[in-house]
Amino acid sequence: MVAIEAFTKDLQAYLNDDQINKIRRAYYYAEQAHDGQMRKSGEPYVTHPLAVARILSAMQMDHQSLMAALLHDVLEDTKVDKLAMQEQFGDTVTSLVDGVSKLTHLEFKTRAESQAHNFQKMAIAMAKDIRVIIIKLADRLHNMRTISAMRPDSRRRIALETTDIYAPIAGRLGMHDLKVELEDLAFAAYHPMRHKHIARAVKVARGERKQLMEQVKESLQHCLDQVSLPGVISGRQKHLASIYNKMQEKNKPFREIMDVFAFRIVTDNVDTCYRILGAVHHLNMYRPVPGRFKDYIAIPKANGYQSLHTTLYRIGSGVHTPIEIQIRTKDMDDIANHGVAEHWFYKSQNERAQGAHNRAQQWVQELLEMQKRSGNAMEFINHVKHDLFPDEVYVFTPKGMVLALPAGATPVDFAYAVHTDVGNSCISCKVNRRLAPLSYPLESGDTVEILTTPSAKPNVHWLSFVATAKASSNIRHALKNQATDDAVKLGRRLLSQELGNLKLQIDDIDKMRLNSYLKHNKLEALDDLLANIGQGRQLAYLVAHALTTESNDTAQQEQHMGSMQIHGTEGLMVKYSKCCHPIPGDSIIGHINTGHGIAIHRTFCKNIKDISKDKSKVMPLIWADTGDLEFDVSLDIEVTASRGIIASIAAGVAQNDGNIEKIDVNEKDARISNVNLNLTVHNRVHLARVIKSLRTLPGVIRLSRC
């Protein structure tokens, strides 16, 4: 009784009496529902939802969020059902509770898979109302504050999950204060001894430099007084998890991490922010560090964060400690600390709070899009983690629009950030008006232009260098569709060829018989059947005879098999085996690999020798005209270990229009080396020309094709 009355009294600062009464009613409902239930700490269970509501009230969240916080465990942990809650508190509060409630414990192969599915469902709930995640974060914060009651193994598991998912989400939503506390509590739970030692060292270091901090603060205050600019100056303390992470990532000792003075100046408006920046840059005895100024007011971070950042150093003293300064307005400071949560306090009166809310909603919608495109929950959560740790770069479109991308982003990431269709049809790019590779790492200030064509398709190689989850998930989705399209095309060719041997075409197949065959094989359409054939799940000659003859005599069916032509451009469902590197002119055979289409081998490849005995798994192939297409081939060359021999080999390949992909050199002994040469050629005749040229080189002892 005392606890709820004290809580509701605090709420009078920003909520009206009717809203407070609704919150009080939600508390009593939760208290009755959880009657008899206790936490592991021995306290009545209702103390937990009340604590969660207190955390949200400190952010001045709306009354519906506070009601949902008080009720958030009622649906799962008590006999109250959703309908009863709707009758008592309405659809909005019930929907929030339903989104926040701990999800049903499903059976999965691993705990990681279970967590991935839970987060996937939470992302869908977030898309309906972003307050779900804010309440969930407050719930996690109180659980972390009381985690000492848990077993050590549970503490480590929950701490790791907090570090990997919940703290980064808080950061992505701009909720800095909550993020910092989650990280520190997780650090203390996962590394209790390291946390204890760093906390002790920080206390000593802060005591040692207290006088220096006061001197710098006085200098800054004197500077503001001289130019009559208003501003509240405060020192910023690095939190323990941040210190530990920087020691790990940068491999620096504790002293170097701590030897940075950090101050924040909060003022009245944007114009004053820039005036203060000019004033501190002209401080006596202090000079700005080149390249360390960042303007996040003109170009806010993706989470809505705005501030001016600069770094000063002191002239003419033995102290080389950098002084980091952040300059921002009061509402920028509130949004930097509470992020999207500020929206419900300011409502629509504040553009920056509204902007932070809109950016958060956009990110959640992108999460939802990724969730739809991901093949499974684990793939989705990996995309999310990929998206939660961005150091940002700011690049421009040709029309001057600014896009924020994570550090290491490439033009492909930029293309997908503009629009999914731009990314899917991207063929090349210009960075600062010059042609650049699609893997080029972008830097702040770059202007990027994407060149597209409707016939272009994403390349699987892009996955090795893209930095954004949006690009990665869209590329994978497009490749899946591309693989299906390629399978249908290949299946159509294979079935058409077999029907051609029977002097028929696909259109000649009896429709009733086709529908009956599709139904029998649990397929919905002809394209599904063709995709199965292209992927090697069903054999074209068996399907052809099943659709055209009454007999299923396998011996009779096999005699109709003919050779299929290969052009070199069949797509993902036709692959050239790396074990034997077939090229035009070679005698070839196809291995029908279930689920993966056709793998092309040279007929005498040792890897196909045993498989070729099973006629159902192989098919004869012949080369069609491949034009100027290039194919990989590998050569083994034994050479004398002499100066310039590798350069001579490279020159010999180039003179014959070959293209070297890779050279590996291994010493056999002091006089002889083995060279493995990977190159591309047009066909067998072209390869013969290259080999003939290399054999004439002085120093080449033996040469053979792998």
- Which residues are part of the catalytic machinery? 76-77
| Alpha-carbon 58 to chain mean position | 32
> What are the residues facing 602 on neighbouring strands?
588
Hunting for tokens 């098999």 — which residue is that?
A: 561
> Could you give the CA distance from residue 623 to residue 496 in angstroms, rounded to a whole number?
18
Q: Per the structure block, which two tokens stand in for 282?
A: 């002209």
- Per the CB < 8 A criterion, the answer to whether 342 and 350 are in contact is yes
Helices (H), 262-410: 270-281, 330-338, 342-346, 351-373, 377-387
CA-wise closest residue to 493 among 441, 531, 537: 531
698: left (phi over 0), alpha (psi -120 to 50) or beta: beta
> Could you give the CA distance from residue 618 to residue 611 in angstroms, rounded to a whole number?
7
Pairing mode, if any, of strands 564-566 and 618-623? parallel
> Could you give the CA distance from residue 533 to residue 510 in angstroms, rounded to a whole number?
19
User: Following CA atoms 503, 504, 510, 515 in sequence, which dihedral angle do they give, to the nearest 10 degrees?
Assistant: 120
> Could you give the CA distance from residue 487 to residue 475 in angstroms, rounded to a whole number?
18
Q: Which helix or strand (DSSP H or E) is residue 702 part of? A: strand 700-705
What are the φ/ψ torsions at residue 462 (nearest 5 degrees)? -60, -30
> Could you give the CA distance from residue 622 to residue 609 in angstroms, rounded to a whole number?
18
Distances (CA, A) of 85 to 93, 138, 159: 9, 22, 32
Rounded to a whole number of angstroms, the CA Rg of the chain reads: 33
